[in-house]
Amino acid sequence: MRRQLFLSAGNTKSIAMIFIVGLGLVALMGSSCDPKPRSGSASGQSPIEVTEAQNNIDVNGIEPIVDAICQGDFEQAKQMLNNAPVNKQTQTLNELLDKHEQIELRRDQKRQTAFEGQLAELETIKEHSRNSRWAIRKIAQKVLKG
């Protein structure tokens, strides 16, 4: 039953891709989608924690990009990525944005195809409606004459 509901809710490949992209964002940045700036210092941390923090990849450079993605502003994120230095993080984010763009293009194509199908169906209904009215008029004329 759940599978039927899931399948009827939309294209499973698109839903799976969106889930994977979302999971990738969460895994990449953790809770960095909080648009509020963080305040705090390393003074309360032990020297080992400070050293580990210094060895970690700097996320401050890409935090605005991730914030733009989290807020749904993919165009701004893409522009900021184009101006950012190339590293593993920016490459990952660029791949993520490329996948998002591919998903959007496929969605637009499917919407366009569905729209064209609906227009064709509407034209068929209009044609049948015209033919039905014409047939009803002819029958009415024969009945009234006869």
Our measurement of the distance from residue 117's CA atom to the centroid of its chain's CA atoms, rounded to an integer in Å, reads 23
Instruction: Give domain status of residue 82, yes or no.
Output: yes
Instruction: Give domain status of residue 137, yes or no.
Output: no
Instruction: Give domain status of residue 119, yes or no.
Output: no
pLDDT confidence band for 145 (50 / 70 / 90): confident
Instruction: Give domain status of residue 51, yes or no.
Output: yes
66-123 pLDDT, tens digit each: 999 999 999 999 999 999 988 999 999 999 999 999 999 999 999 999 999 999 998 9
Instruction: Give domain status of residue 79, yes or no.
Output: yes
Instruction: Give domain status of residue 87, yes or no.
Output: yes
Looking at the chain, the number of H-run helices and the number of E-run strands are 6, 0
Task: Please give the tally of structural domains in the chain.
Answer: 1
Instruction: Give domain status of residue 140, yes or no.
Output: no
CA torsion sign, 52 to 53 to 55 to 59?
A: positive
The per-residue pLDDT of the chain, averaged, comes to 75
Range of the domain at 42: 2-110
